[in-house]
Chains A and B, each alone.
Chain A
Amino acid sequence: MGILFPNSYDSLVPELVTERLMASIPFASRYRLVDFMLSSMVNCGIDNISLIVKRNYHSLMDHLGSGREWDLTRKKGGLNIIPPFAQKTVNIYNGRVEAIASIIDYLKRQKEKYVIMADTNIAVNFNFSKLLQRHIDSGADVTIAYTKEDIPKALRDIDVTKKDLYYTLDIDGDGRVQKIVVNNKENGVHNVSMNIYVIERQLLIDQIREAYVNGLTYFERDIISPQLDKLNVKAYQHDGYFARIMDINSYFAENMKMLKEENINALFSPNPVYTKIRDDNPTRYADGSHAKNVMAADGCVIEGEVENCILFRGVKVGKGAKVRNCVLMQDTVIETGATVEYAITDKNVKITSYKELKGTESFPVFVEKRKQV
C-alpha cells in the first residue's frame, strides 16, 4: 500500500502554497505534482493509497475527487485522503511520526505486507515494482530511494530553523546505508534521498508506536538514522529523469525543462501520468499568432507571440501580446499588447492591455491567483 505526504516541503515554496499544498502545485501544462507519484504507484499495481494531509488540502481534494482518473475508485483500498487527526481538538501533525501515528489503527487493519511512503515534491515516473522487488530480494528492513546529484543550492540554503529536512546517504559496497547526514551543506555529488521508503507494514507500525511514545518527530532523522546498525537499511538509486521542486526558482526551471522533447519523453514514460480531466477543446493558434518553443495544454487561445513558455489549460494570449519565458497557469489571460517576461502567473490571473511585467531568469516574477495587473 502507499502513503503520500502532500504537504512536505510546503514551506519552501510559500508563493505557490498560499491556498494549496505541494502536491497540488501545477506542473508541465496540465498536471499537479501529486499526479506523478500517484500514477507511478497505480501503474505498478499499488491501488491502496492514503494521503495524509496537513493544511490547505481543499484544492487537493477538488483535484483528486474520488480518484477515478487515476483508476482509484475501488471497493477495496483505492484513494483515501486523511485530514488532520481530530479527537477532542483538531491536531495538525508535527512531523511524519505523528502523521503516521494518527492512522495507526487504519494501518493495522490493512492486508498489504509492505508500505511505500513518499513525498510529492518530485515529479518522476518511478518504478515502484522494481524498488519493491529489490527490497524483497535484498532482505532489507527499509529501502530508501535516492538520486546521485549535486545537492541543489535551494536545499543547501534552507534555514536551519525550518522544519523541512533533507538527507544524504553514505552507502557502502553492499548498498547498505551506513550513515544519514541531515541538511548536508557540502559541495559535490552526493546520494540525495528522495524520501521514498519501502518498509514492512508491521515493522512500520512497531517503529512508529515506539517513536511516538518517545516524542520523536522525523522518520529518517529520528527513527532510521539512529538505528542504522540495528536495522538493515538499503539504498536504491533512481537513475531516470526527475524534477525536484524545492523553491520558486527550481519550480520555474523544471517547468522550462519540459520544453525539450527528450525531457518530455523521459518524464512521461514508460508509464502514462494521469490527471483530472477538464474537457477543454484543442488549443487554437489564430492568425497573427507566433509560437516558438512552447508546451501548451488544451483550451488555450493564442493570438499573440509566445516563446519559451509553459501554458496550462485555458490560457488566453491576446493580439499583439508578447509572452516570453513564462509559466502561465490555468485560465491566465494576457490581454492585447501586454508584455510579460520571466513570470509565473497563478490561476485566473489577468495581465491587462499594454501592461509590462518583467522578471529575470534568476528572479521570476510571481503573480498570485486571480490578481489583475
Chain B
Amino acid sequence: MAKEMIAMLLAGGQGSRLYTLTQKLAKPAVPFGGKYRIIDFPLSNCVNSGIDTVGILTQYQPLVLNEYIGNGQPWDLDRLHGGVHVLPPYQKATGSDWYKGTANAIYQNINFIERYDPEYVIILSGDQICKQDYSDFLRFHKEKNAEFSVAVMEVPWEEASRFGLMVSDENDKITEFQEKPKEPKSNLASMGIYIFNWDILKKYLIEDENDPESENDFGKNIIPSLLRDKREMYAYHFSGYWKDVGTISSLWEANMEVLDPENSGINLFDDDWRIYSRNSGMTGHRIGEEAVLENCMITDGCSIDGKVKHSVLFAGVKVEKGAVIEDAVIMGGSTIKEGAQIKHCIIAENVVIEKNAVVGEMPNGDKKGVATVGSNVTIGEGAIVGPDAMVSADVKGGDKA
C-alpha cells in the first residue's frame, strides 16, 4: 500500500559543539524543555501533520536514542503498516559502509523508502526545535508543481552569512544557492528541511553516489546538482519558532525561552500541537514547606525544598533545603544538595552536586559563559565549577574546575 509522503529524519550527527552533553548521546537525544528530547519535535510534527511513516537515520552513539524511540508508541507511530523505524548503517552482501554524508545516508536506505512507494519524501533534521505543519509545506510543494522544495526562514541580514541561503524570485522559485557567503544576496536561510518528489530524489542520489568527488551532502552536492539541471525548485517560507540548538549557549537559551512563551515564540503549552515524548512514569512533583519558586518549569518526580528561580528542572530532580538555583537547566535524576549554589548553567542527567558546591556564575559584564556539567558526574562538597567550565569527570570536594 503506497504512502503519499514518508519522512526521513537525519539523526546521526554528533553535535560536537555540545561537548560533554553528547559524549555518549546523539544530539537528537539531548534532553530539552523539562520532559522532552530534541527529536520529539520533528517526530511530533510528523504525527501531527499526518505522516505516519518515519525512518530515523542513526549513526553516532545511538543507544540512548534507539531505546528512547523503541516502537514509537509515545508518538503514536506504532503502526501496523509504516510507523517509526530506526535505520542504522548495515552490512550488505557487497560490504558495509558508514553513512558518508547526509545524502549517502538516504541513498543507503533507498530500499526502505521503496517499500512504501511514496510520491514524496520529506527530509528532516533531528536537531532542531521547531513546531511545523509539514502538510502545509506539502500543499505548497504541490501547488507550485515543484520537484524539490526547501523550507526557509528569514534571518536578519547581519546574520545571513552564517547560513546556507536560498535566493528566490517573486514566485518563490529558487534561482541560486549560497553556502555561508561573504556577500549574501538573500536573507532566506535553509532550514535543512526538504520535500522531494521521490523519483527525482532517487535519481539524484544514485547520480551523486556514482560521483567519487562528491561529499554526499545535500547542501554541498545534491542541491547544486538540482540547480545545475534547472529543476523545479521552490522555497517555502516558515515564520514560526525555530532554534538550532547545536551549541551550549543556544541550548541553554532555548530552554530559558520555554519559560517565557508570551515573548519568545515557543509555546509548549499548545493543546493544538502537542509535543509527545516518552513519559518518565514518576509521580507528581512535590514542593516542600521551605521551597521558593520563581518563574520555573518543574517536571514529574521532582522534590523541591530549596530556592529555584528562572530554571527548567527535568524529571526526578531533587533540590534540598538551602540549595539555591538560578538560570539553570537541570536534567533528569540529578540531585542538588544543601547549600549548593547553581547559577546560569546546564547540569546533565544523574549528576550529584554535593553540599555547598558552586556551579557557574550569573553573567557579569564580559563573563557570560554557561557552565556545563556532564552526566553521571559528582561535584564534591564545596567544589567550585567556573562559568566557562565543561566538566565531564568527577570534581573532588574543595577543588576548582
Contact = CB atoms under 8 A, between A and B. Distances in A.
B284 A295 contact: yes
Contacts of B313: 282
Interface stretch (B84-92, B236-244, B285-293, B382-390): B285-293
A245 B310 CA distance: 38
Select the residue from B277, B284, B297 with max chain A CB neighbours within 10 A.
B284
Interface in B269-313: 269, 274-277, 279, 281, 283-291, 293-300, 303, 312-313
Interface string A166-201: 000000000000000000000000000000000000
Q: Determine the interface band of chain A, counting residues with CB < 8 A from chain B.
A: 20 to 34
B286 A285 contact: no
Interface residues of B, number: 35
A268 B287 contact: no
B322 to A, nearest CB: 16
A368 interface: no
Contacts of A284: 259, 269, 296-297
Contacts of A293: 287-289
A91 interface: no
A264 interface: yes
B298 A283 contact: yes
Interface of A: 28-30, 68, 259, 261, 264, 268, 272-274, 277, 279, 281-287, 289-298, 301, 310-312
Contact of A282 (B35, B73, B289, B303): B35
B146 to A, nearest CB: 34
B184 interface: no
B294 A281 contact: no
Select the residue from A68, A277, A283, A289 with max chain B CB neighbours within 10 A.
A283
Nearest to A313: B284
Contacts of A297: 284-285, 300
Nearest 7 pairs between A and B by C-beta? A29-B284, A282-B34, A297-B284, A282-B299, A281-B268, A294-B287, A285-B293
Contacts of A68: 73
Contacts of A268: 283
A39 to B, nearest CB: 10
Given A284-B269, A292-B289, 20 more contacts: A261-B288, A264-B286, A277-B74, A281-B35, A281-B297, A282-B297, A282-B300, A282-B312, A282-B314, A283-B285, A286-B295, A289-B293, A289-B294, A290-B293, A292-B290, A295-B285, A296-B285, A296-B287, A296-B298, A297-B285
Contacts of A30: 283-284, 300
In terms of DSSP, what is the predominant structure of the interface of chain B? loop
20 contacts: A28-B284, A30-B283, A259-B286, A264-B283, A268-B283, A281-B34, A282-B34, A282-B312, A283-B298, A284-B259, A285-B298, A287-B295, A292-B288, A294-B286, A295-B285, A296-B284, A298-B35, A298-B299, A298-B300, A301-B269
Contacts of A29: 283-284
A284 B295 CA distance: 7
B277 to A, nearest CB: 7
A38 B319 CA distance: 31
Contacts of A290: 293
B333 interface: no
Given A291-B287, A294-B287, A281 B33 contact: yes
B52 to A, nearest CB: 17
Contacts of B288: 261, 292-293
A330 to B, nearest CB: 12
Given A287-B294, A298-B35, A279 B287 contact: no
A23 B82 CA distance: 37
A268 B283 CA distance: 8
A298 B74 CA distance: 16
Contacts of A291: 287, 291, 293
Contacts of A283: 285, 297-299
B88 to A, nearest CB: 27
A285 B295 contact: yes
A279 B274 contact: yes
Contacts of A281: 33-35, 268-269, 275, 297
B261 to A, nearest CB: 8
Contacts of B299: 282-283, 298
A279 B277 contact: yes
A285 B325 CA distance: 14
Nearest to A281: B268
A258 B33 CA distance: 26
A357 B33 CA distance: 35
Interface in B68-107: 73-74
A68 B71 CA distance: 13
A347 B288 CA distance: 25
B396 to A, nearest CB: 30
Interface in B167-218: none
Contacts of B286: 259, 261, 264, 294-295
Nearest to A31: B283
Select the residue from B35, B276, B293, B299 with max chain A CB neighbours within 10 A.
B293
Contacts of A274: 281
Contacts of A294: 286-287
Contact of B281 (A272, A292, A295, A312): A272
Nearest to B289: A293
Contacts of B269: 281, 284, 301
B33 A282 contact: yes
Nearest to A260: B286
Interface in B216-234: none
Nearest to B285: A296
B332 to A, nearest CB: 11
A333 B300 CA distance: 20
B275 A282 contact: no
Nearest to B278: A277
A261 to B, nearest CB: 6
A204 B93 CA distance: 60
B45 to A, nearest CB: 14
A259 B274 CA distance: 30
Contacts of B275: 279, 281
A287 B292 CA distance: 11
B284 A292 contact: no
Contacts of A311: 284
Contacts of A277: 74, 279
A285 B287 CA distance: 11
A268 B316 CA distance: 13
Interface string B243-272: 000000000000000010000000011000
Contacts of A272: 281
